[in-house]
């Protein structure tokens, strides 16, 4: 079993990894979901997590986002060991998740979704600062080139790609350290997938670490800097995307060479 | 950035159904009942005064529906609150009576809310049960007797009085609608109510305390129903178990016609006010037309059916 070590590819400005997982182990009752998993992510790096169904990818995402706590093992953010009581603790530490089912409120406008649960308010009555939220949202979607009619558009009137763009924009707005993407294009068509991939690639420039789960190896090779393979909860290895091939990754995923 | 075309919500006819319906019904009665006194100031202000309790119940109901829940029990809450206030005021001060009335509303709302928010029971079943439960309690509280309310200050504030020439019932209506509208539209709480009704799962993962929102909207509904009970008691200078009993259909219709989605996530307090006035006008007009009660019920039922059908068309979520 290969253990990942800190490869120093890419910009070397910061040596402390944003996220460091050491010997993470998670079992549910007697069932081991993740065994002895270690991984480091640097700012501006995209790491893909691949593996068959039931390999433990989603469990790992849930551990990093605070939904599950590991049975043992340590999580460090910017060199400091952290424990997450729940998802909101992880969120307050600058970790955002883009869920497969989007987690958007369909009948609300884009800007209210961007600020969902974290609305900008003023005064003792906690009144909404709509103008501020709208202009911040508009600036962000323009910057990320998420093409929506306006920040005031209702989510239900948007296409699948536009919605995923909004979900990613929301994560981008709040994440200071890490964004977790769980199958971000699973429900999208070809053109929309390309659009969303472009947005994800643009996030690298924001110096945020990104961990992405995807079933599409083509997508993984287009987007990631490194690929981490899981099989039945065991970490098979971590490869630099530029120095590996689809065949190698497929054989790591399936265990057949 | 390219601006893509999207369905323009400002041109959406459903948004204006309630206003259009209001104008149409008003015009119809104004013409057909011109000689029967429909257009007199006295009659028109009477409509507003009579709908005051229903409008206030509707304000609470907008919050409940918007959060994805329902409250069928507010009519019973109204009766219990009015009776509590009246009974207390027989022996104690007016303030104690008001506190008892509003407190009863809040307490029943809390009871509904705890079962819905924390015991995870469907609000439809919980409030259907408490509708019957508190209707029974209202009957047994005074053995079906009506309790007179003789405190002049109380009947002035909640009934026949006025301030600067404006009847107090109109002031209560305006106050409830303005406060409700600001909380609903402009406050963080209102945004959380809408998010909860729209997608409770998304609200939860966004850190909104969904159970607390569900409890709060049912308590708000209880409070509004309690206030409506005080207004009924003040207006007719007595409390009895039948108060609020017939408001269920009218309030629900007013809120739906006023643009609030049946399944939550969208709504309007101002729309509910207009919807409520429309229902009041309809009642009033049908009475002035001299229709027998049975025909009034049939016509009213049909018009509500048409109005609700138009409001909910293409809005099936």
Q: What is the distance, to the nearest Å, from the Cα of residue A103 to the centroid of all Cα atoms in its chain?
A: 14
CA A130 to the chain's CA centroid: 28
Q: Which residues of A touch B9 (CB under 8 A)?
A: 154
Question: In the structure, what pLDDT confidence band is assigned to residue A186 with cuts at 50, 70 and 90?
Answer: confident
User: Which residue(s) pair with A109 in the sheet?
Assistant: A154
CA atoms within 13 A on the CB side of B122: 3
* pLDDT attached to residue A8: 41
Q: Does A108 touch chain B (CB under 8 A)?
A: yes
- Note the pLDDT tens digit of each residue in A120-176: 999 888 999 999 999 999 999 888 888 889 999 999 999 888 898 899 899 988 988
Evaluate whether residue A85 is within a structural domain.
yes
User: Which of A99, A107, A153 has the CB atom closest to B198's CB atom?
Assistant: A107
B191 contact partners, CB below 8 Å, separation of at least 6: A108, A112, A119, A128
Specify if A144 maps to a domain. yes
CB pair distance less than 8 Å for A107 and B208: no
B195 touches chain A (CB under 8 A): yes
Count how many residues are written for chain A. Answer: 257
Task: Quote the CA–CA distance of B211 and B197 in Å, as a whole number.
Answer: 12
- DSSP for B98-130 reads HHHHHHHHHHHHHHHHHHHHTS---HHHHHHHH
User: pLDDT digit string (tens) for B153-176?
Assistant: 888 889 888 888 888 999 999 999
Percent of chain A whose predicted confidence (pLDDT) is above 70: 93
CATH number at residue A130: 3.40.50.300
Closest in A87, A103, A108 to B201, CB measured: A103
Range of the domain at A172: 33-254
- Farthest CA pair distance, chain A: 65
CA distance B118 to chain A (A): 19
- Using one digit for the tens of pLDDT, what is the confidence trace for B242-288? 999 889 999 999 999 898 988 899 999 999 999 999 999 998 999 98
More confident: B198 or A195: B198
pLDDT score, position A143 = 84
Question: Is the CB of B42 inside 8 Å of chain A's CB atoms?
Answer: no
Rounded distance, CA B56 to CA A98, Å?
Answer: 41
Q: Tell if the CB–CB gap between A103 and B199 is shorter than 8 Å.
A: yes
Tell me which residue in A99, A105, A149 faces B203 most closely, judged by beta carbons.
A105
> Domain for residue A27, yes or no?
no
Subunit contact A108:B265, Cβ cutoff 8 A = yes
Confidence of residue B3 (pLDDT cuts 50, 70, 90): very low
- Which one is predicted more confidently, B191 or B151? B191
pLDDT band at B1 (very low <50, low <70, confident <90, very high): very low
Residue B243: phi and psi, rounded to 5, are: -60, 135
What confidence category does residue A188 fall into, taking pLDDT thresholds of 50, 70 and 90? confident
Closest residue of chain A to B187, computed from CA coordinates: A127
Q: Which of A87, A91, A108 sits opposite B194 (nearest CB)?
A: A108
Residue B5 has pLDDT above 50, yes or no: no
Strands B147-148 and A95-98: unpaired
Q: What is the average per-residue pLDDT within A20-48?
A: 90
Going B82 to B87 to B89 to B94, the CA torsion angle's sign is negative
By CB atoms closer than 10 A (0-12, 13-18, 19+), residue A187 is: middle
Top residue of A84, A107, A109, A164 to mutate, by most chain B CBs within 10 Å, is A107
Whole-number Å distance between alpha carbons of A43 and A18: 6
Minimum mean pLDDT range among A51-65, A123-137, B67-81:
A51-65
Give residue B15's pLDDT: 67
Residue B100 has pLDDT above 80, yes or no: yes
Segment A78-87 mean pLDDT:
86
Cα–Cα distance, B15 to A153 (Å, whole number): 16
Paired tokens of B45: 């202000």
Q: How far apart are CA A118 and CA A125, in angstroms?
A: 15
DSSP A85-124: SSHHHHHHTTEEEE-TT----TTSBHHHHHTTTS--EETT
Report the alpha-carbon distance of residue B112 to residue A60 in Å, rounded: 39
| B4/A149 Cβ within 8 A | yes
Domains and CATH numbers, chain B: 12-312 (1.10.3470)
Residue A15 within any structural domain of the chain: no
A76 SS3 class: strand
**Number of H helices and number of E strands within chain B?**
13, 4
Of the candidates A159, A157, A144, the residue with the CA atom closest to the CA atom of residue A192: A159
ipTM (interface pTM):
0.83
Residue A20: inside a domain: no
Question: Under a CB-based contact definition with an 8 Å cutoff, are residues A110 and A166 in contact?
Answer: yes
Interface membership of A112 toward B (CB under 8 Å): yes
Does a structural domain hold residue A71?
A: yes
In a domain, A11, yes or no: no
What does the alpha-carbon distance between residue A36 and residue A62 come to, in Å, rounded to a whole number? 16
* B178 at A interface, C-beta within 8 A: no
Quote the strand ranges of chain B, DSSP E.
Answer: 147-148, 162-163, 166-167, 238-239
- Do B198 and A148 lie within an 8 Å CB cutoff? no
A200-248 pLDDT tens trace: 888 888 888 999 998 889 999 999 999 999 998 888 989 888 898 888 9
Count how many domains chain A has: 1
User: Is residue A3 in a domain?
Assistant: no
Strand pairing class (A209-213; A178-182) = parallel
Position A9 scores a pLDDT of 41
In this structure, of A142-151, A218-227, B1-10, B187-196, the range with the lowest mean pLDDT score is: B1-10
Query: Is A32 near chain B, with CB under 8 Å?
Result: no
pLDDT surpassing 50 at residue A94 = yes
């Amino acid at each position: 079993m290969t253990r990942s070590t800190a490869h120093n590819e890419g910009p070397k400005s910061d040596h402390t990894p944003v996220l460091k997982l050491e010997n993470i182990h998670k079992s549910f009752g007697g069932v081991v979901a993740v065994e002895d998993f270690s991984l480091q992510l640097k700012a501006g790096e995209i790491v893909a997590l691949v593996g068959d169904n039931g390999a433990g990818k989603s469990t790992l995402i849930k551990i990093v986002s605070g939904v599950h706590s590991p049975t043992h093992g340590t999580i460090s953010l910017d060199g400091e060991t952290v424990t997450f009581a729940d998802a909101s603790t992880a969120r307050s530490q600058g970790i955002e998740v883009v869920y497969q089912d989007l987690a958007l409120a369909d009948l609300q406008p884009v800007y209210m979704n961007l600020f969902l649960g974290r609305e900008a308010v003023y005064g003792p009555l906690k009144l909404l600062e709509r103008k501020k939220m709208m202009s911040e949202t508009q600036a962000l979607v323009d910057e990320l080139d998420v093409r929506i009619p306006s920040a005031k558009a209702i989510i239900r009137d948007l296409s699948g790609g536009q919605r995923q763009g909004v979900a990613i924009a929301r994560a981008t707005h709040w994440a200071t350290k890490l964004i977790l993407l769980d199958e971000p294009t699973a429900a999208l068509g070809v053109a929309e997938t390309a659009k969303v991939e472009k947005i994800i690639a643009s996030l690298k420039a924001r110096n945020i670490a990104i961990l992405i789960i995807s079933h599409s190896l083509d997508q993984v090779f287009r987007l990631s800097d490194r690929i981490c393979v899981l099989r039945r909860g065991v970490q098979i290895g971590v490869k630099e995307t530029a120095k590996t091939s689809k065949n190698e990754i497929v054989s790591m995923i399936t265990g057949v060479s | 950035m390219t601006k893509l075309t999207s369905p323009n919500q400002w041109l959406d006819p459903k948004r204006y159904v309630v206003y259009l319906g209001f104008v149409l019904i008003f015009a119809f009665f104004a013409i057909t009942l011109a000689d029967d006194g429909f257009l007199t100031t006295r009659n028109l202000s009477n409509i507003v005064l009579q709908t005051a309790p229903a409008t206030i119940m509707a304000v609470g109901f907008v919050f409940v529906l918007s959060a994805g829940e329902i409250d069928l029990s507010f009519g019973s809450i109204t009766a219990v609150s009015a009776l509590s206030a009246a009974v207390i005021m027989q022996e104690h001060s007016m303030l104690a009576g008001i506190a008892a009335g509003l407190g009863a509303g809040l307490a029943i709302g809390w009871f509904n809310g705890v079962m819905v928010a924390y015991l995870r029971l469907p609000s439809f079943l919980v409030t259907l049960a408490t509708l019957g439960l508190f209707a029974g309690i209202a009957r047994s509280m005074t053995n079906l007797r009506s309790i007179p309310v003789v405190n002049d200050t109380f009947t002035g504030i909640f009934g026949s009085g006025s301030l600067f020439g404006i009847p107090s019932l109109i002031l209560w209506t305006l106050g409830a609608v303005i406060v409700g509208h600001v909380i609903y539209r402009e406050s963080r709480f209102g945004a959380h109510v809408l998010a909860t009704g729209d997608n409770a799962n998304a609200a939860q993962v966004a850190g909104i305390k969904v159970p607390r929102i569900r409890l709060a909207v049912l308590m708000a509904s209880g409070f509004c129903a309690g206030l409506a009970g005080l207004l009924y008691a003040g207006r007719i200078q007595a409390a009895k178990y039948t108060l609020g009993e017939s408001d269920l259909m009218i309030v629900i219709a007013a809120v739906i016609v006023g643009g609030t989605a049946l399944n939550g996530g969208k709504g309007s307090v101002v729309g509910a006010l207009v919807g409520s006035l429309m229902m009041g006008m309809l009642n009033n007009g049908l009475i002035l037309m001299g229709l027998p009660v049975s025909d009034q019920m049939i016509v009213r039922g049909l018009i509500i059916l048409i109005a609700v059908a138009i409001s909910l068309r293409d809005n099936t979520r």
